[in-house]
Structure 1
Amino acid sequence: MGRMRVVLNAKAGTIHDMGPERVRTIVDEALTRPGTNVDVVVAQGEAMARAISSAERDGFDTVVVGAGDGTVSYAASVFANTEVTLGVLPLGTMNMLAYDIGLPRDLAGALDALQKARPMQVDVGLLNGRAFHGVSGVGFFSQMALAREQLRAQRGRVLGWFMALGKAVARSGRMSIEVEVAGVREPIEAYAALVTVNAFDAPGWHRSRLDGGLLEVLVAEDRGTLARLKTGAEVLVNAWRDKPGIHAFQARRVTIHARRERAWVATDGEVERERVPLRYAIAPGALKLLVPPAAIQWREHDAQAVT
């Protein structure tokens, strides 16, 4: 018999609006099926982290996390290179991974898609040895994440985005960095650098592959305040890849050097002070992730399997 633990963030808007017991019942009824034992935990903070970290020890083979990208990233770091399968529910602010694999934003639709999902072996990134599932950025990206955290209480997703954009552009300064790939360093006067686990190469901030085995690094040159604002807006709609002043690299290992000991880095939405140089690597197929059958990534995955 399979055992599934579902960990839901008690502070999520959906739970606040519907009530924890109602959400617990809806999730339990949707995911319980013959041969599957479901344990739904509604928690927050350290209790939520403990429910995730203890799941394998407690005998659960599947863990579904309904929280923001930071908590999902923590779960990915816990379950990378284990036999536990990770599922996600979009109960956070951004829900980047859930959105990337095509999960509907409403709870009922996401649960329906999760019922039909099947495990895919996906890549995870490593930053200074710590796993993450999607994106890690410095400069503009860390400032954007900090600004969004400060503006979390602002009403309106679009207004919040543009207010955060303005703050991030104003706070982002020039960085003298060197991007090292295969032992070769390229110096760049930049104001932003983004490292992603496989390329977000499909329209609307989607990845066509979750198992491509490569990191992508995009670095934006510092070309002044007006150019920063333009590029910042293009970043939000993922339209900056081939623009002037953008340097692109793909590799299994990338190191970013800078003239400082530590830097603010936004990784899967969480901002931390990281030791420099920033050493990135990819761990191919390290995580089992529940991916809905309609996700674009299954088409590429199945096509590669045939060839």
Structure 2
Amino acid sequence: MERPLFNAASALRFVVNGQAGQGDADATREVIEGALRESGRTGTVLFASPGELAGVARKAAALALAEASAVVAVGGDGTINTVAQAAHAAGCAMGVIPKGTFNYFAREHGAPTETVEALRWLLDARPEPVQVSAINEQVFLVNTSLGLYPDLLQDRETWKGRFGRSRLVAFGAGMATLLRAQRRLRLAIEWEQQVRDVRTLTLFVGNNRLQLEQLGLSDAGGRSEGSNEGAVADGHITAVILKPVGTLAMVGLMLRGALGQLGEASGIERFVCRGLVVQPARLLGRRKVKVAFDGEVGWMRSPLTIRVLPQPLWLLKQAQA
């Protein structure tokens, strides 16, 4: 896929997860339109409910491609993932205004996390290729997983509904999920001419260097023979297997993750590869498996193919000095 045409004078298409008319939505529109006026640029702000988001993103991406412009995701990881899926399929440029809790994708590529600063940064950016991966053709930018981690994400959303959005709430939800973890997965994993049967609490596959660094998983320890240094952005992803452990060991793993030392834990196994195929043992005859991708949770038919996509995402970012 060639670099898309990009004309800075064309109108940007901002896709916002939310309903127009709400206080936060109105404030978001005012900030975006104010930044556009200040810079002499034009754009359209499109609000969508969660059920409408994918359709709105596809239409916005098609228009962005036709107009040599870009579609811009305004929201957290789930919103950014949905817009990225549409932008990657269309081949248009994409921008990001992060409004999530962790914002790993935006931060890895240099975008500020404060909305006004992010807009100014975006309006001076140009399309650059960035690595994206997929699980069964569903794009993911940060990570994908099965087993315990999707359960953790669902618990985190429940806690956020009760206690609000913060990293402390996310940590508390994660601890609660880990302490009651019981279900073990039996997986056949194939990668780069290797096949292994494993029992695990979760399989986590990372595509984001920043997140892996913060967890202490960014070095190439345990990488496959012949793979390059580095976990992501060089055509590789990092697979992490959490071995079945007891409650005290689980607490220790959680603390190591918070301290960025997860790679040193004995209950963790990891390897770097370009792609892998995962075949879970059937649970009660089910053919579908619960998976997570960039904070979203869904069901997919096995086997699961996880790989770096050959075509990049064209992300609006500023060139490094």
Pick the TM interval, shorter chain.
0.7 to 0.9
CA 1:264 to 1:112, structure 2 compared with 1: closer, same or farther past 3 Å?
same
Q: Which residue of 2 aligns with 1:24?
A: 29
Q: How many residues are matched? A: 291
Amino-acid identity (%): 24
CA–CA separation in structure 1 for the residues paired with 2:171 and 2:237: 28
- Residue by residue over 1:234-271, the C-alpha shift from the partner in whole angstroms, topping out at 9 and shown as x without a partner, is 33454312322322222222012221233221110001
Q: CA deviation at 1:279?
A: 1.1
Structure 1 letter corresponding to 2:188: E
TM-score w.r.t. the length of structure 1 is: 0.83
What pairs with 1:98-177 in structure 2 (closer than 5 Å)? 98-153=106-161, 154-155=163-164, 157-169=166-178, 170-177=180-187
Q: Which residue of 1 aligns with 2:299?
A: 273
What pairs with 1:173-212 in structure 2 (closer than 5 Å)? 173-197=183-207, 199-200=209-210, 203-204=213-214, 211-212=233-234
CA 1:57 to 1:200, structure 2 compared with 1: closer, same or farther past 3 Å?
closer
Are 2:274 and 1:252 aligned? Answer: yes
CA–CA separation in structure 1 for the residues paired with 2:205 and 2:280: 15
Q: 1:45 aligns to what SS in structure 2?
A: coil
CA–CA separation in structure 1 for the residues paired with 2:264 and 2:195: 21
CA 1:278 to 1:238, structure 2 compared with 1: closer, same or farther past 3 Å?
farther
CA 1:247 to 1:214, structure 2 compared with 1: closer, same or farther past 3 Å?
same
CA 1:210 to 1:89, structure 2 compared with 1: closer, same or farther past 3 Å?
farther
Gaps of 5+ in 1: 300-307
Q: 2:82 aligns to what SS in structure 1?
A: helix
TM-score w.r.t. the length of structure 2 is: 0.80
CA–CA separation in structure 2 for the residues paired with 1:209 and 1:252: 10
Gaps of 5+ in 2: 1-8, 219-229
CA–CA separation in structure 2 for the residues paired with 1:162 and 1:132: 22
Q: 2:312 aligns to what SS in structure 1?
A: strand
CA 1:22 to 1:160, structure 2 compared with 1: closer, same or farther past 3 Å?
closer
Greater share of residues in strand: 1
State the Cα RMSD in Å: 2.8
Are 2:223 and 1:214 aligned? Answer: no
Are 2:246 and 1:241 aligned? Answer: no
CA–CA separation in structure 1 for the residues paired with 2:50 and 2:210: 30
Q: Which residue of 1 aligns with 2:4?
A: none
